[in-house]
Structure 1
């Protein structure tokens, strides 16, 4: 999977980019106007029913500006950079199938297609199911460790809402429960020089938008997060 921008071959952009751009599906996040453009997400069903569904994020004129890109650059390209960085840290993210951006007459269009996370559920779904206290603590501990690993590496999620966090728990061959935490929607992710700045932002967002997460669980996340920071080697190793 490569990234195509305005410097890519026009023929390649026209064929593959337009095929994804014109694909149809159910809008799970209707296109809304922000950042001087529009952004929305569609759910696409693959012809092979054994393969996971796809999420296609489409953006038109949805850009951010930096010193390197004073005239604007699609936020999708920044999101792809974060996906790659998180994966290098051993943090689970959706598999990227396709990502591209094109500019015509000064207007940007960008696409990010990812696979649905198989076997993962949202925190809301997880809290609605019956779980033991031990499993609940294990999941929260893994979430805290994941955020600590991210922050120690100099990254901030930027949009750390429960709807952008998914969890998966399953028993391995030995009967022990393995837990995974996946992060998604990374278009606001950015580098931070100080761990405490990333922590204040992400943990603050999680607390304000925790939904049906009990306050005691939020406090436990803060406690185990601090414990993870005290063991940076363990945090940084996959």
Structure 2
């Protein structure tokens, strides 16, 4: 895969001397959290502020995922980058990649993924922490937005694979919310119809602990587009939740 630089970010990165792999790899920054280790390597995330724009710089070494197409492994960022681009092509709201590249060295595979920071957005977890304090109409708008996002995702033939509240970002507008997705490492095509859709939605509902039965129904109403099949979906999601809780 050739190095990728988004057209709208190229001039800014070039102006700061950061439009190539080696410059971004050598950049000295403080990690925003503890590096992920395992898979035989490491992966870390840094914030990069370039005046008028902010990014998250993700670097990894020998942090690989294996699949039938890549039995010997490939950097997890390579898969995430492909999924970001696929989501954009299919009209699914998602964070935006500014730069991606890989390098193979003797005994080492390196990868860099640079994404635009979602400044002005908050993840769903942020809203759930004070759910009872939020006005009823704003709660309804959040539920509607999340349901419509999931509907758009699945209508495009994709599943997120890790649909947790921390991976849904929301931005409040005058009278509504916008939503987008992050963390697409586990995303894949929707292969098994309703089974995959239930599998994708259930973790979101299980982890959104502030939501009651009415909240879940509102989200499902927005997801389904009508209420005719709401009971069956609620039953399937509950069965999936009980199964997951019994075997974790």
TM-score bracket relative to the smaller structure: 0.7 to 0.9
Equivalent residue for 2:141? 138
CA-based RMSD: 2.4
Q: Secondary structure at the match of 1:30?
A: coil
* 2:171–2:179 CA contact under 8 A, matched in 1: yes
Normalized against structure 2, the TM-score is what? 0.75
* 2:169–2:179 CA contact under 8 A, matched in 1: yes
C-alpha spacing 1:205/1:73, structure 2 compared with 1 (3 Å): same
Equivalent residue for 1:234? none
136, 161, 166: which one aligns with 1:163: 166
Give CA-to-partner distance per residue, 1:157-191, whole Å, 9 cap, x none.
Answer: 111111111111212xxxxx242101001111111
Query: d(CA) in 2 for partners of 1:102 and 1:212?
Result: 44
Q: Secondary structure at the match of 1:158?
A: coil
Give CA-to-partner distance per residue, 1:185-223, whole Å, 9 cap, x none.
Answer: 111111121232332222121123224444542343233
Normalized against structure 1, the TM-score is what? 0.78
Q: Tell me, which stretches of 5 or more residues in structure 2 are unaligned?
A: 5-18, 229-248
Q: Secondary structure at the match of 2:186?
A: coil
15, 18, 21: which one aligns with 2:25: 21
Superposition map of 1:191-230 within 5 A? 191-227=189-225
Q: Secondary structure at the match of 2:200?
A: helix
Equivalent residue for 2:40? 36
Equivalent residue for 1:66? 67
Equivalent residue for 1:3? 3
Give 1:23 shift: 1.9
1:55 aligns with 2:83: no
* 1:54–1:113 CA contact under 8 A, matched in 2: yes
Equivalent residue for 1:97? 98
C-alpha spacing 1:89/1:228, structure 2 compared with 1 (3 Å): farther
Query: d(CA) in 2 for partners of 1:227 and 1:100?
Result: 40
Q: Bigger relative contact order, structure 1 or 2, given CA contacts below 8 A and separation 6+?
A: 1
Query: d(CA) in 2 for partners of 1:25 and 1:200?
Result: 40
Q: Tell me, which stretches of 5 or more residues in structure 1 are unaligned?
A: 5-14, 172-176, 231-238
Which aligned runs of 4 or more in structure 1 are off by greater than 4 angstroms? none
* 1:3–1:100 CA contact under 8 A, matched in 2: yes
Query: d(CA) in 2 for partners of 1:229 and 1:183?
Result: 25
Query: d(CA) in 2 for partners of 1:123 and 1:93?
Result: 14
In the alignment of these two chains, the number of paired residues is 211
* 1:40–1:57 CA contact under 8 A, matched in 2: yes
Q: Secondary structure at the match of 1:186?
A: coil
More helix as a share of residues: 2
